[in-house]
Structure 1
């Protein structure tokens, strides 16, 4: 019996030593890779904070974040003042290091080495770099898998290029122009709802919280565009995707340790919930796909087909998608991608637009006069939308101050040359968009002020370096839905301003919050009055 116990003790020790050795080997290997990347960057004169073993600069990042959050909780006597520069509170570590090391520096999170790039010249080089060797960071896209699958937003290399080739043409401007009628139709319920709120609250003025109403409009538009006659089912899909997004936003994408950490800990309850939602979403999309496939056989021209039907057709004709399962995944994953990029970001941008226009009623008046001059019969089609230059200026300025996407992020999948800089394989590149959009050397001393007139002659004349304006990302991975988002924002703003005047409610609390995108943390409350 004693021999058995001795054998068990020896086995336990051997197992423990084996596990520890495995962990040390794995971390040692990854650490050495990270150190090699950091050394290559430092040899090019790029400095940054000194990382600690295993954790890199995570400890400093967390301390700076906690300090910023503590300051936010302090009482503020200027409750009516809305400060547009939120980078110090949302991303204090980036701002802290920028002041110390400049617009180009390196830092690490756990075993991952990063490069902060906010130099306009380098941003321009990144914008012009068309290589497939710069993709989305793998450690982040793994976390986004439940939300995006392996669609065009998350994939890299040839897989990304093939998907973009199929999806991109469906968002060219000639196609988007044909969606204006759907956008107008989807916005009408919101206008009716606000009119009813005014009547219910005395017939003069009503307080409304715009966030969910605008999400409803955006979801309705995407559902109609994607699912055609099955748009009600599409809205159910997007409701579930919204729940996935809420669950995922609780995770931390900036402080994450290396992917090795995930191998040590079992799937938690939150992941199980997301997996269940994902299966339900996939089932609903595939069911809608069957309906759309049948309908597409009955329609002769592609102009009569909705986006899902066109995706199905594209998947069927693409030589890289050879089997039925690949075709299913392509359609499911890209429907998810279209939801996230075309629904959530556009709705949040619209919320920021109404917040800033509520603060600056003179721009409401200017837009209203423009609509009366150029669209006396109201919005009718894409041609009437194209005449609204003031609306375009306002949207550009809102997207400068409050771009929904906080970062442009890339990972060097191979050693890649950008300008005079060699990006070693494995390094993640981060461009902080809000900082780039507020740099006084680029935009002038009024960079933190709301001044749409800076865009009166277009983006190219709005600032010293036009390449520094990147609300839709940059390079070959520029947002596919740029045209779609801009047209939808013009439709929503024009219809709202035609019907209502509005101001910021005393209940509004300015609190930009990063939840995968930068959104109003406490919602946007406005006081609306019928024209």
Structure 2
């Protein structure tokens, strides 16, 4: 009798555990799906436990198998069908708004201009960064402004945002021009060393050096040579993390080996140690020179020290995490955008000529400054068109931290929203029949007249979480194009292989090789 009673208890406990698991793994997701389905939002049918992950893996594998290395294809700018084939397939089947799941997590794909506009206008803290992606990116970004939510994010934004207003960025123009000089001299030396006529150069790594130098000197008071180890380790950490499919976010898909996990933790510790050394050195300089001009690092220090809610350990995390965010976001995305700009201009020498003519008219024999940069309309158009075709950030990603309503759609708590930026930027209904072509003239009247729905142009994101460094990025890109095109002419190298790849941002998978010569 006692044995029977014991077995009854065991069966009961197992039953409760199984039901609980079934409820969390299926029923809760099913309830969320039904809330979306009754609003007319459909999507692919999910499987038990893994949702639509098996289908996503299958579609991705088929896309990779069908991709051929075709040199004639290098001017085909629409890469979404090879990089994100499942989103393209489902969009054709279900339209610009649909729902899909990855395991127990429900997602809402949003690529309708009107709903993107609603996201842009939403100021609620209930719409934050997806928690599971934030968790995956914690080694790279900590709990800094790029991955934090709610009041913590608002506090960080209050401290950091003013340092990237245009009046502050204008002061940095001279520093940016100075930072470009070593790159220009390096390319001139390469031409000389390769015979004095033309040089074959891979430009993306050199551009990373430039943007890293700018962010290090402008925001942290140190040169690139001093911060080089930080940037190098951040790049290595980014590459390691991007090997896992953090977009999927479910056990069994994209998990790294223990060796890779250890590598991530080791890099994380090294980066934090290097940043903290920089912080302490900056503190010493501030004490030694009371009149030292405050840079972004100084303001982050003050913000952390003056916040009564932060203890000693929390203050250190606040400082280090936001330095990691600015070091990474401040240079990586801009360098990639500059690489895409040069790739496009290498394909279109007529736009090199137009930019060169404008720079000569506006700047003459002088280096560009804050006033002349603002007058370079053609350069601005080229940058805007490059960011339309190749926005470094592939997605706007948000999670409903509480139930929220956008337009006519009620989004249940926990649903993750995804807007695929390159798809929105190539929508023929929004941009016209030439949406896949490089035509900077479309921006001749500004963004408001470039397309049918201006809210569909979102290279820097949407809403309150719009990229804080967008002014800095735009000015850096203008300076890169201005100085390079005024010194050199260039075309694509035979070594170049067009291979956009998603590694947390969309970057040239095999780099950008160009043939460059002096004017």
* TM-score normalised by L of structure 2: 0.94
Question: Which residue does 1:250 correspond to in 2?
Answer: 243
Q: Are residue 138 (structure 1) and residue 127 (structure 2) matched?
A: no
Question: Which residue does 1:519 correspond to in 2?
Answer: 507
- Give the distance between the partners of 2:103 and 2:73, measured in 1 at CA: 41
Structure 1 residue corresponding to 2:258, chosen from 268, 272, 286:
268
Question: Which residue does 1:53 correspond to in 2?
Answer: 48
| Comparing 328-337 and 371-380, the one that deviates more | 371-380
Question: Which residue does 1:34 correspond to in 2?
Answer: 29
Contact 2:160 2:296 in 1 (8 A): no
The one-character-per-residue Cα deviations of 1:151-203 (angstroms, maximum 9, x if unpaired) are: 00000011111111111111111111111122112111111111111011110
Structure 1 residue corresponding to 2:278, chosen from 263, 283, 288:
288
Note closer, same or farther for the CA distance 1:230–1:310 as it changes in structure 2 (3 Å cut): farther
Structure 2 residue corresponding to 1:89, chosen from 63, 82, 95:
82
Contact 1:171 1:483 in 2 (8 A): yes
Shift, 1:59, TM fit: 1.1
- Give the distance between the partners of 1:479 and 1:252, measured in 2 at CA: 24
- Give the distance between the partners of 2:76 and 2:256, measured in 1 at CA: 42
Matches within 5 A, 1:440-519: 440-519=428-507
Shift, 1:250, TM fit: 0.6
Structure 2 residue corresponding to 1:306, chosen from 295, 307, 323:
295
Question: Which residue does 2:304 correspond to in 1?
Answer: 315
Contact 1:455 1:461 in 2 (8 A): yes
Contact 1:401 1:434 in 2 (8 A): yes
Question: Which residue does 2:267 correspond to in 1?
Answer: 277
Structure 2 residue corresponding to 1:376, chosen from 364, 367, 370:
364
Classify the secondary structure of the residue corresponding to 1:425.
coil
| Comparing 220-229 and 197-206, the one that deviates more | 220-229
Q: Are residue 115 (structure 1) and residue 76 (structure 2) matched?
A: no
The alignment's C-alpha RMSD in Å is: 2.4
Question: Which residue does 2:172 correspond to in 1?
Answer: 179
Note closer, same or farther for the CA distance 1:22–1:199 as it changes in structure 2 (3 Å cut): farther
- Give the distance between the partners of 2:19 and 2:65, measured in 1 at CA: 36
Classify the secondary structure of the residue corresponding to 2:200.
strand
User: What are structure 1's unaligned runs of at least 5 residues?
Assistant: 1-6
Note closer, same or farther for the CA distance 1:23–1:144 as it changes in structure 2 (3 Å cut): farther
Shift, 1:257, TM fit: 1.3
- Give the distance between the partners of 1:470 and 1:220, measured in 2 at CA: 27
The one-character-per-residue Cα deviations of 1:407-438 (angstroms, maximum 9, x if unpaired) are: 00100000001111111001000001001000
Matches within 5 A, 1:224-243: 224-229=217-222, 231-243=224-236
Shift, 1:99, TM fit: 0.6
Shift, 1:28, TM fit: 3.2
Question: Which residue does 2:204 correspond to in 1?
Answer: 211
- Give the distance between the partners of 1:416 and 1:401, measured in 2 at CA: 31
| Comparing 147-156 and 29-38, the one that deviates more | 29-38
Shift, 1:54, TM fit: 0.5
- Give the distance between the partners of 1:400 and 1:31, measured in 2 at CA: 39
Matches within 5 A, 1:314-393: 314-320=303-309, 322-393=310-381
Contact 1:223 1:235 in 2 (8 A): no
Contact 2:244 2:256 in 1 (8 A): no
Note closer, same or farther for the CA distance 1:41–1:327 as it changes in structure 2 (3 Å cut): same
Classify the secondary structure of the residue corresponding to 2:221.
helix
Classify the secondary structure of the residue corresponding to 2:250.
coil
Note closer, same or farther for the CA distance 1:276–1:126 as it changes in structure 2 (3 Å cut): same
Contact 2:74 2:497 in 1 (8 A): no
Question: Which residue does 1:3 correspond to in 2?
Answer: none
How many residue pairs align between the two structures? Answer: 515
| Comparing 386-395 and 20-29, the one that deviates more | 20-29
Note closer, same or farther for the CA distance 1:362–1:416 as it changes in structure 2 (3 Å cut): same
Shift, 1:470, TM fit: 0.3
| Comparing 230-239 and 503-512, the one that deviates more | 230-239
Contact 1:413 1:426 in 2 (8 A): yes
Note closer, same or farther for the CA distance 1:250–1:345 as it changes in structure 2 (3 Å cut): same
| Comparing 238-247 and 449-458, the one that deviates more | 238-247
Shift, 1:128, TM fit: 0.3
